[in-house]
Structure 1
Amino acid sequence: MGAAINELSARCPALLVAAPASGQGKTTVAAALARLHTRAGRRVRAFKVGPDFLDPYWLEAATGAPVHALDLWMVGEQGCAAMLHAAAQENDLIVIEGAMGLFDGQPSAADLAERFGVPVVAVVDAGKMAGTFGALAYGLRHYRPGLPWAGVLANQVASLRHGDMLKAGLRDADDWLGSLPRSADWALRERHLGLSADLPASEALARIDAAADALAATPLAALPLERWAVDFPAPASTSELPALLAGRRVAIARDASFAFVYQANLDTLRGMGAELSFFSPLAGEALPDCDAVWLPGGYPELYPRQLAEATASREGLAAHIAAGKPVWAECGGMMALMDEICDMEGRSHPGWGLLPGVTRMQRRLAALGPQQLALPAGTLRGHTFHYSTAASPLPVVARTARPDGGSAGQGGEAVYAHEGVMASYFHAWFASCPEAVAALLGGRA
């Protein structure tokens, strides 16, 4: 099909897959929809509303293309507009997965749908309801007047008769986009931070294909894509990234323990002139020769033995720090650097001992939400999401704050400094302030 393009906008079918709450099946439906059309030979690009490291794994598996975050605050309206416009120029379909409930968060998935005119597909877990399904669908559609709307899809449906009951309860029969039955064939495994993203690629794709096969039998799959066509305007302005990291080599830990990496952050570093070099502590790899290190978040608590045995990485980091070179450690990266990690059963495991402190896992969420970090070079936007707490004798050199000016927890997320290390639970969106990123990684201001 291809997108229709002129100088001011690009026209491309697009759908935003949302729900009344988390856990309704948004990721399954979004990935299945993207996969269904990818298998048909169409070019499909998927996005995820809001900060998220895990759901994009499934969307990327479905499309074979990188999945970027769309967040009107963290990424910015111009950043979202630029990504959507570029995707519309090159693809036959854009699939956007929402976050939490349709109207949850500031900004919400509904805000994004309204801003760019993307029709909403509401996925509702109807496994334990009948007539209430119609009331819920009516409320989602009409709660905010003018919301672009595609219809509603029932998930976890018990039988054909159950599906007929759900459809009969709708005020508008045209809202019905079909149903997906209960099935273990496409159930997505979860852990404490959300969906698991460590399945073998073949198993992940098999689950997505099974869901796509089921979705193929729904009215949603039968409707022509042109019905959902959207004009995506070109961004008002674009600016090149400053070459603040030109000539610098940045080493980045990347494996199952350090997996929380936004592709957009890598693009920003490269756009600033940095040469990127990746290494895997879990694979026993040594720290590459570099000028700066970024230790992203992930799941260090799941790999305590392997991290304790990662002597090549640990010794390389120790030498790097002793030489006065910078390290930026986010969330799980900070946890690995500390003296000790206590798991959810209370068992103690040694960390790398390069940052004084102890982290303790807990079953209750410790912090979640958008955050910003004011540094001398500028303010970075980003977010926090963790189940552990940290205690360190180090002084707190800065704290993050919520976008509304309030703070999270006890004054926001702490930022610790020790020799060349800066560390925090804060996950930064690098493009929000390249100058601050350059300062963290020792580049020129």
Structure 2
Amino acid sequence: MKIAVIGTGYVGLVSGTCFSEFGHEVTCVDKDAGKIKALENNIMPIYEPGLDSLVARNVGAGRLTFTTDLKAAMKGAKAVFIAVGTPSRRGDGHADLQYVFAAVEEAAGYIEDYTVVVTKSTVPVGTGARIKARLTELLPADKFDVASNPEFLREGAAIEDFMRPDRVVCGVDSERAHDVLKELYRPLYINETPIVFTNRETAEVIKYAANAFLATKISFINEMADLCEVAGADVQEVARGIGLDNRIGSKFLHAGPGYGGSCFPKDTRALVSTADEYGVPLKIVRSVVEVNEARKRAMAEKVIKACGGDVKGKRLAILGLTFKPNTDDMRESPSLDIIPALQDAGAEIHAHDPKGAEEAAKMLKNVTFHDEPYSTMDGADALVVLTEWNQFRALDFDRARGLMKDGVLVDLRNIYAKADPAKHGFRYTGIGRGA
């Protein structure tokens, strides 16, 4: 099947590439000519493990192309996926849908035969109905359907998530749209992947509900970590103890500096704003947002306390800047709150991230970036782990301590056993490890 994907950001590029790996003929469209030129030369705009080789293979096979010409991309396409950004709108936290509707209106001008317009972008409930209403003004009713097909891609594992998903959600309101999406995902039927067909509104809510629930687990375990610290308990053991309950599960029960990234922060805020518009207060989700914002601010205070209550004039070595490992994504990363707060307290920041330094340099000022971890530690008063990259899990503690001026280690991801750093002269501080 021939399809067009509007937007070559994280969702659009990964989805389009994986659809082509399924055997479909895919054209990815973007207004940024520089990005398209780079993709044609197999230069990825994002870091995602394995994506460059997957793109190269499908481009070589003739199944995947990139263009700025939407008209050409849509010629003969049975479906057009809208995969543009839906950032938080300033002031009210609602999802900004201007790019979605701009893409829809432009695509409408090139629809000749029956086409399914599919929202892959995360959009509030009711957006599909609004898109359909607008298209009804522009096109005959038999020329289109509108569907919702939300993505559930984890950065750093997005290809695996697309090719072997837990489920696929398709919101449709016609048999024709149902058949098109069923054919698109037909390769997954072989693996007996659950394909959930529902109406558009339900599909739109599923996406937000999933992200809000996972964010809730993160904020919950972070609050439990605060209790553990003062009560003499260990949050990692608490997480294991409750995570073994199949009703709860162990995923997303890792205490840390708060969630970030392109999804959880904006989607929880947008869900609260959308619910407010419907007159349904979401008290739990609103609390999750508030807890997470407070969490990031509190982590700077935690570092300062570990340094004796004062970091003025002190050099801090920071390991990890991205919101999670295996990505270069800095969006809403805890580091963007923690590092400026430490600088405001007088600290000198030296930092290393395996993939995120280039993006971080655009957002963080007066930070000295290093190409490897140990040079950040030379003369440092404290070492702070902000992101749990695997490269940091087996540090040479003797080498690190030998380089550092003082032996303060603040592990905001609990990647070390408490006793190990102490054997090498470190004064260790973790998250929720009061026992």
TM-score by shorter chain over 0.5: no
With the length of structure 2 as denominator, give the TM-score of the two structures.
0.32
With the length of structure 1 as denominator, give the TM-score of the two structures.
0.32
Q: Which has the higher helix share?
A: 2
